[in-house]
Amino acid sequence: MPKRKIDTHQHFLPKLYVDAVGLDLLNAAMPGGVAPTWSVEAALAMMDENGIDEGILSISSGPTLPDAATLLRKCNDHAAELRSRHPGRFGSFASLPLPDVDAALKEVSYSLDVLKVDGFIVFSNYNGLYLGDDHFTPLWEELNRRGTVVFIHPNQPPYDVPRVAPASVLEFPFDTTRTATSLIMSGAMNRFRNIRFILSHAGGTLPFLVPRIALSISMMPAVAERVGDTLAAVRSFYFDTALSAGNSPLSALAQVADPDHILFGTDFPFAPTSAIRQFGKVLDNIQIPGIEMDKVYGDNAARLLGR
């Protein structure tokens, strides 16, 4: 077993957030049509069963909400309270009221200076704006100045989801890939090198598509000049293992990721404890060059988060 196990992809669902978002929306994204319930007791029980020392809490994806700044401030305060009540068991990625960049910048100051959060969660798109869009530049400038961690989580895409499967099954990994490509092609990965961006779910389909993206960029001179080295831009991302414990996704990831940039994640409670238990068995027995499980389970996150 590793010396320390840190779960960088763990959600919490305080009642105030569930009441604001509504169960219908949360249910619709789930393969079984039923959103999970959450409690701090259930989270700690899952962590204890799976040998997880610390979970970094974040609110999962959702719609743009009225008065988001007030609601998300309450959620960020609640996460800070959980950290205080359970020392060493929880960290937090604070939520930002995007796409309102001015309000987000105010929350950045409060979250870093008062709450001392570990970083921020942002979603792959906001009403169809992907993260490489110029709209987000003032936010990236400030987070770059602060040298901050930014955890990117997929969101409902800005189009009608085909009836093949719920959004979380296929559209979420696709949307992660879109926003990562947006950050690369806009030059943001080159310009904001002090931001440590984490991509959920092993980067979605990004590892598989890296050669295609790199070739396409090479055929667009203006984009190629902004991007620089496409493979280096991809390698600067961090990636978590949530819902991606298997030889095929992790073998692809190992081809493009820095071994020090792969992090353990569970996606609790959207991944139930039974699934996390099964993922753990797979990860414990992974033998893939470039995937070093002691680093994945704890060392990489400890270094990234200053533990």
On the question of a cis peptide bond just before residue 66, with omega within 30 degrees of 0, the verdict is no
CATH fold for domain 6-305: TIM Barrel (3.20.20)
Q: What is the pLDDT of residue 20?
A: 84
Asked if 194 contacts 144 with a C-beta cutoff of 8 angstroms, the reply is: yes
Q: For position 92, what pLDDT does the model report?
A: 98
* CA separation for the pair 129, 126 (Å, rounded): 5
The per-residue pLDDT for range 176-230, each reduced to its tens digit, is 999 999 999 999 999 999 999 999 999 999 999 999 999 999 999 999 999 999 9
**Along the 307 residues of the chain, how does pLDDT read in single tens digits?**
557 899 999 999 999 888 888 777 676 666 777 778 899 999 999 999 999 999 999 998 766 777 899 999 999 999 999 999 999 999 999 999 999 999 999 999 999 999 999 999 999 999 999 999 999 999 999 999 999 999 999 998 888 889 898 888 899 999 999 999 999 999 999 999 999 999 999 999 999 999 999 999 999 999 999 999 999 999 999 999 999 999 999 999 999 999 999 999 999 999 999 999 999 999 999 999 999 999 999 999 999 999 9
Residue 39 CA: distances (Å) to CA of 36, 42, 93, 249, 259: 10, 5, 18, 30, 33
pLDDT of residue 23: 72
Residue the block writes with tokens 């389909």: 205
Q: What is the model's pLDDT at position 73? A: 96
Q: What is the pLDDT of residue 2?
A: 56
What integer pLDDT is reported at residue 29 of this predicted model?
A: 63
* Domain coordinates in residue numbering, the chain: 6-305
Structure tokens at 27: 């249910």
Per residue, the 3-state secondary structure of 190-207, as one string, reads HHCCCCEEEECHHHCCHH
pLDDT of residue 167: 82
pTM for the whole thing? Answer: 0.95
Q: Is the dihedral of CA 271, 243, 7, 26 positive or negative?
A: negative
